[in-house]
Every structure is written in C-alpha cells, then in structure tokens.
Amino acid sequence: MKQRAAVLGVGQTHHRSKRLDVTMAGLCREAVDRALEDAGLSFADIDAVVLGKAPDLFEGVMMPELVLADAIGATGKPLLRVHTAGSVGGSTANVAASLVHGGVHARVLAVAFEKQSESNAMWALSIMPPFHMPVGAGAGGYFAPHVRSYIRRSGAPDHIGALVAVKDRRNGARNPYAHLRQADITLESVQASAMLWDPIRYDETCPSSDGACAIVLGDERAAAGRTVAWLHATAMRTEPTTFAGRDQVNPQAGRDAAAALWRQAGITDPLSQVDAAEIYVPFSWFEPMWLENLGFVEEGQGWKLTEAGETELGGRLPVNPSGGVLSSNPIGASGMLRFGEAAMQVMGRAGDHQVDGARIALGHAYGGGSQYFSMWVVGAEKP
Amino acid sequence: MSSDSPEVAIVSFAQAPNVRATHGTTNGVEMLVPIIREALAGAQLSKRDIGFWCSGSSDYLAGRAFSFIAAVDAIGAFPPINESHVEADAAWALYEAWVKIRTGEVDTALVYGFGKSSAGELRRVLAMQLDPYLVGPLWPDSVSVAGLQARLGIDGGLWSEHAMAEVAARSRAANPDAQVHERVTAEELLRRPYVADPLRAHDCAPITDGAAVVVLAAADRARELIARPAVITGIEHRVESSHLTARNLATSPSTVAAAKAAGADGITLAELHAPFTHQEILLRQALGLGDEVTVNPSGGALAGNPMFAAGLARIGEAATRVMAGAADRALAHATSGPALQQNLVCVLKGGD
C-alpha cells in the first residue's frame, strides 16, 4: 500500500552568479540547514538522503555526492544520487517521495545544487560526441527554434515573451533568495535588451546561478500536528531526444506526465483547481508553451492567459510567484526550487510572494531537449 | 519498514560480453540493445509491459554530459516511459526501482547499467571522485588509493599478498566465459611484478567495456512470469565519509550496517563487488562469510569489471543462481566510490 507523504520543511540558499564565499559542501549545507530548521528537525531525525544535480561536468567533480556525504548528513545512512538532466531537482524530490510512499523511510532529506562558477556549463554542453547533433550555442540556441515554431503555430503576438520576463523578474524582487531582483523592469526595457537567440532576448533568459535547495519529506506520523504540504501526486516521463515526427514544442512526454499527475491528484479542471504553479521556465516563452503542455488550456491558447495577466500574482493562476527560473537558475536545483516553492505556497510560508489562500500547487521541471519531465501536486489538505 | 508493501523479485538478467574494448559509442546503446531484448524475452515481457525504467551510468566515464539521455535510444522510448537515472552503479538504480514497485504504482521495472572504460584512463578518471579542493588536485589514482588500503590490511595482519593471490587464482579460474580466464597458481601470480606496491596486476580488476540488465516484478506478478523468481528479502545501502584518513579502511562499516539491516543470515552463495583482491577478503571478513559460502562463482569484478554495471551484474549473477535452484539464499553486494566508500547489500531467496 502506498503510504501518504508530506513536505515537512523547505530551505534554499541565496542564489548568486558566483558564491565564492562557500565550497560546494558549504552551499548545500546552507540549504539543508534552512530546510531542517523549517521542519524543526535535526540530522539525527533523517533516515536517508537523496542528492540531485545536473551533469558532473558542470563542477568538474565525478559523483560529488560522495565528497558531500559528510556535509549533507548522509554519512552512515543511505545516500542516492539522481541525475535526469534539467528535470533532476524535481526528480530528486520525487525519488525522495517514493522512499516515503513505499514505506521504506519515515523522514528523507532531498538536496539539489549547482555551483556553476566552479566550472563552465557552456563548455560542458558543447562537447561534441560522434554521431550527435552539436548543441553549439548552449541551451538558448537549442530551444530558440522551438519557440519560433510555437509562435508560428499559435499566432502569438511578439510581446508575450517580454510580458513573462517582466512578471517573473518583478516576482523575483519579492523573493529574498532570488538571484535577479528587478522591481523596476518594464516591457520596454525587456524589448530593448539584446537579442541573443531570435526571438529570445537577454532579459528573457535565465541567469547562471550558484545555489542549492533542500526539502525534508516525511510520512503521516512525521507530519502529524504540523503545517505541511501533502503530496497529492507525482509523475515522471521521458522520451528520446530526436525521432521522426517528434513534437518538440508540445512533447508527448510532458502531456503524458501531466495527464497522469492530474488523474492521480483527482484534478479534472487544473486551471480552476490549482491555486499556484511553479513551472520550469528558463526562457520566457516556455510559460505559454508549458501552460498548454500541462493541460491548463487548449493547445494554442497559453499565450492568451499570459497576455490577460492571469498568470500574475492575483491572477487566475499565478505562475512562478517566486520569480522562477528566470530569476534564479542553479540548474540542478532549479527543479527542486519549483517543487519546494509549490510546497511553501500551500504551507503559507512564501512571504512577500505568497498567493493568497493557496491550497493546491503544482511543481514542474523539465530537462534535456524538452524530453525529461517531473512534476508534483501538493496540497494543504490530506489527499 | 512497512510490511504491507509488495515483495519484489528478480525475474531476468542479461549482460553484454565483458571485453577490454568495444568500438561503439560511450552512451552504451550498442551494448544495451541486444541485452534489453534478451532480458525482456527471459521474463516473457515486451517493453510496453514495463512500468518503470531506471539506469546507472557516469558522464565522466563517457567523457560527455548527458550520456544517459543518449542511452535511452536503446529502449525506443516512445510512447514516453516512466523513467529515472542514478549517477552511480546501476545496483543503486535497482534499489530505486525496488522502491518504486514497493509504492504500488508499478508492478514491473527494467534496470540497466553501462560503462565503456576503454574510452579513457580509468584510474585517472576515478581520481575525479576525490575532494576537488584538497585531494583531487594531487591526482591520487584509484589503484594507488586501493594500494594504501591493501597495505593497511597487510601491516595489520588481516590479509597477506599470498591470500590476495589465492583470491586472484580462484577468480581467474572461475568462469570460462569471463573477460579474464586462466588457470594459474598463487605462487605463479606472486612472481609477477607490482603495479602499485603491494598490488600486482592480478590484484586489480581488468579494464572492461560492458553493460547489464535486470528485470524486476512485484513478487505475485513474478511468479506468473517465471517458475522460480529470486525474491529480494532485503536491500540496504550505506555511505561513509569521503575523507580517507577519517575512515577505518581495513574494514567496511557501511557494508556491515547494510547487511545487518538487510537481514543477511543463512547465506550459501555471495557475489561480492570487489575490484581488488584484498577487498574481497575485507568484505568476507566484514560480512562474516565462512568457508561454507561460495563466493563469486561468476569470477566477480576481478574477472570482468564493467564500470556502473558490475554491481548490478553481481545482483544478476546471484539471482541467476537462485532462479536456477543452485542456491536458496544468496547475498549480492555492490560498491561505489574510492576504497569501498559506499556499499549496497541485496539478499535473495528462491521464490517458488
């Protein structure tokens, strides 16, 4: 039988382009200490640790969880290392949730980090193995054609991407941990910023961040008497990078994961039933694209929700009240930040970016060439 | 641990030939395609029947980012699959799959691991696992680190170069299909030169390209698929500090703790993931395995060591013998990290 699971605490670092004040261990520990404090627990209460991060080449350490074992409190305990590309932060939280759902452990610590300043992510992404299409210009160059295709298919007006950037960066200004906090950003300033990968401009692009996130999960007994975020559903799906006929704008893996997620959570009308969504949007246009892929609206309609201001704080479906990936992007942790922020919303602990009365929230992450998806739904009530 | 979660069993195992070098890519696809097919056939399943997929591999070994994504091409993952990946030996992927089946969300899983060590210089690649600020820059390679551990045990009277050579002689004679196979005495081996004193070539696992696949099912489903599945009665893993000087390298507290938690008693057969001869002795001592226990009938990692698949292969080799009725209660062990830093113990019993 599947055991109930809940988020007991969430912690994160201050995200910056270079956290030269800490080692990788120090960075992870900062997030872990905050998560344990939020949960009112100590290392002695933790049964197992799950660590996730994106490619090891991003820091230049092979399987860094081995070196980090002491710092994240895993020594003498089970330690699992998850890696599912950019979705890894979400997958790591989901694997930790499985350990509780499966009745294996009562309290599990999930940690995700990226310290991009230790190495060079662009270099790591630009290695050209034989028989593979080179990514070349990094993630932006890879995804820009998908965005152009979305605009052509949906007929979305040109300024939608800039609207998303303005919203997310202003939200980021409400989040004390965000890397970019730009309260004064405007549509005009975004549209005046440099074009990097047409149609993606500089201000519509995620930063490179050093940062970490940690989540403490527990079973029903561990959750008793506390303010927690109950897990209502988790889902993961994968499809190959390339094959004839693949829809890279609205990938089947994302649609399948969302369908499984809503079914498991008993949600039939996500737009009405979900109060807040933390969606992995590294380039502005992915907000309308994922709104459609997740089934909040019909295909081709996502940009209308954005244009109408319905994804702003106070709108019908606030998307990325934390500022999202556009405001902080420690790659391996970015997915877990989405999952953790969703939990903070339903626990009422999101501070200045709290969505009033949030009871049900979505955490979403994707990775690879829009082919790895992980998501969860959390709620203030027991499922 | 909750007792109303389903029992999980191994129903099929396949592995690629362990060889010194393959000509394929570092993403494992060429090695994986035939053995995924073989493992599915062994369980009379098709890929559409698999509820969860999980793999283990390393980008550093492959010399590129995201090598595991390219490996998904070996599956033909469309319609999309429910899938995850560990950056570790695939024995830990099996652990994740075991957890997934216990949640009741799925009742079958396929686990695979792959490694093409021939693409680089393994002993230097593994030095990248050490503390990147203070130890890694000195490039202590994996054989030298193991040599320090072997020396500690010799000086402490826990094992000898002769006992190590006997482990090598037995492992090299065990399996005619293994990468390393020769009939040789310990005395002959001891006349060969050192690689990293006190280690000789026969004390170190060979450099291997290879891959392995295991199919799991909830025990009830497993009994429908094959006559005698290998039921997992316990699976546990623990990690130790990475600071070599802070550890007691002459034993393996993480293996002992994992075995105790997994309920490893009454064992008659053990597959131990020991890439160095002294580590097999160390693990036998730590686990308290006496002469009545058959150790590494496959030849073990000393006869073929496909990185990130060899631990999974230990579980598969033990399960194969349980499924065949050659053992009723077996232990499989997997290791990860420098000098046995992280260890997993899986206990299997015949499930007819």
Give the model confidence (pLDDT) of A84-125 as tens digits: 999 999 999 999 999 999 999 999 999 999 999 988 777 777
Q: How many residues does chain B have?
A: 352
Are B25 and A124 a contacting pair at CB < 8 A? no
Q: Which residues of A302-336 are buried (b: 16+ CB within 10 A; e: fewer)?
A: bbbbbeeebbbbeeebbbbbbbbbbbbbbbbbbbb
Kindly list the residues from chain A whose CB atom is less than 8 angstroms away from the CB atom of residue B121: none
pLDDT higher than 50, residue B230: yes
- For residue A100, the enclosing domain spans 5-120+208-223
The single residue listed with the structure tokens 């060429």 is: B30
B346 touches chain A (CB under 8 A): no
Q: Which of B63, B82, B86 sits opposite A80 (nearest CB)?
A: B86
The sign one gets for the Cα dihedral B130, B136, B142, B148 is negative
**pLDDT category, B1, cuts 50, 70, 90?**
very low
| Chain A partners within 8 Å of B241 (Cβ) | 69-70, 75
B 251-290 → A contacts, CB under 8 A:
253-254, 257
Chain A contact for B77, CB < 8 A? yes
Give B88's contacts in chain A (Cβ within 8 Å): 63, 80-81
Average pLDDT, chain A: 96
Is A273 inside a domain boundary? no
In chain A, what residues touch B109 (CB-CB under 8 Å)?
none
**Coil vs helix vs strand at A323:** coil
Gyration radius from chain A CA atoms: 19
CA A291 to CA A144: how far, in whole Å? Answer: 18
List, for residues B119-152, the tens digit of each pLDDT value: 999 999 999 999 999 999 999 999 999 999 999 9
Residue of chain B minimizing CA distance to A119: B132
End-to-end CA distance of chain A: give it in Å, rounded: 15
Q: How many CB atoms lie within 10 A of CB B1?
A: 12
In this structure, what is the dihedral angle of CA atoms A340, A346, A350, A351, given to the nearest 10 degrees?
Answer: -170
Q: How far does CA A275 lie from the centroid of its chain?
A: 17
Q: Is B86 on the interface with A (CB under 8 A)?
A: yes
B242 contacts A66? CB cut-off 8 A: yes
The topology (CATH level 3) of B132-205+231-350 is Peroxisomal Thiolase; Chain A, domain 1 (3.40.47)
Q: Per mean pLDDT, which range of A53-62, A188-197, B1-10 is the poorest?
A: B1-10
CATH architecture of B8-121+206-227: 3-Layer(aba) Sandwich (3.40)
Closest by Cα among A330, A346, A332, A317 to A374: A332
A13: in domain: yes
**Cβ-defined contact of A75 to B79 (cutoff 8 Å):** no
Return d(Cα A359, Cα B142) in angstroms, integer.
51
Give the start-to-end residue ranges of the domains of chain B.
Answer: 8-121+206-227, 132-205+231-350
Nearest alpha-carbon partner for A347 in A252, A231, A182, A268? A231
Number of domains in chain A: 1
Q: How far apart are CA A275 and CA A315, in angstroms?
A: 10
For the segment B161-177, the average pLDDT, to the nearest whole number, is 98
What is the C-alpha radius of gyration for chain B, rounded to an integer number of angstroms? Answer: 19
Residue B319 to residue A292: CA distance in whole angstroms: 46
- Candidates B18, B326, B292, B290; CA nearest to B318 is B326
ipTM more than 0.95?
yes
The answer to whether residue A218 sits within a structural domain is yes
**What's the predicted TM-score (pTM) here?**
0.98
Strands B108-116 and A360-367, sheet pairing: unpaired
Q: What angle do CA A224, A230, A231 make, to 5 degrees?
A: 135
Contact criterion met (CB below 8 Å) for B181 and B19: no
**B198 pLDDT above the threshold of 90:** yes
Q: What is the pLDDT of residue A153?
A: 98
Residue B111: partners with Cβ closer than 8 Å, 6 or more residues away: B53, B54, B55, B56, B90, B93, B94, B97, B213, B214, B215, B216, B312
d(CA B99, CA B291): 33
Instruction: From A184, A100, A155, select the one nearest A302 (Cα to Cα).
Output: A155
Domains B8-121+206-227 and B132-205+231-350 belong to one CATH topology: yes
CB-based burial, B303-335: b 16+ in 10 Å, e otherwise: bbbbbbbbbbbbbbbbbbbbbeeebebbbbbbb
- Residue in chain A nearest B88 by alpha carbon: A81
Number of Cβ pairs closer than 8 Å across A and B?
Answer: 200
Name chain B contacts of A77, Cβ cutoff 8 Å: 238-239
Q: In this predicted structure, what is the pLDDT of residue A138?
A: 75
Q: Does B200 touch chain A (CB under 8 A)?
A: no
Dihedral of alpha carbons B13, B18, B22, B25, sign: positive
Helix (H) or strand (E) holding B30: helix B29-42
Tell me the H-state helices in chain A. Answer: 24-39, 65-68, 88-101, 121-125, 138-154, 160-172, 187-192, 220-223, 252-265, 270-273, 286-293, 302-307, 324-327, 331-347
Sign of torsion, CA A382 B97 A368 B342? positive
Query: Is there a domain that residue A68 lies in?
Result: yes
Instruction: Say yes or no to pLDDT of B49 above 80.
Output: yes
What's the CATH number where A21 sits?
3.40.47.10
Q: What is the largest CA-CA distance in chain A?
A: 56
A75 → closest Cβ in B82, B131, B239: B239
What is A10-59 written as a DSSP string? Answer: EEEPPPBS--TTS-HHHHHHHHHHHHHHHHT--GGG--EEEEE-S-GGGT
Give the other-Cβ count within 10 Å of A185's Cβ. Answer: 21
Backbone angles phi, psi at A216, to 5 degrees: -100, 125
- Decide if pLDDT at A126 tops 80: no
In a domain, A50, yes or no: yes
Angle (nearest 5°) at CA B28 between B23 and B31: 70
- Please give the share of chain A, as a percent, with pLDDT higher than 90: 92
pLDDT of residue B233: 97
Q: Where does residue A22 rank: exposed (0-12), middle (13-18), buried (19+ CB within 10 A)?
A: middle
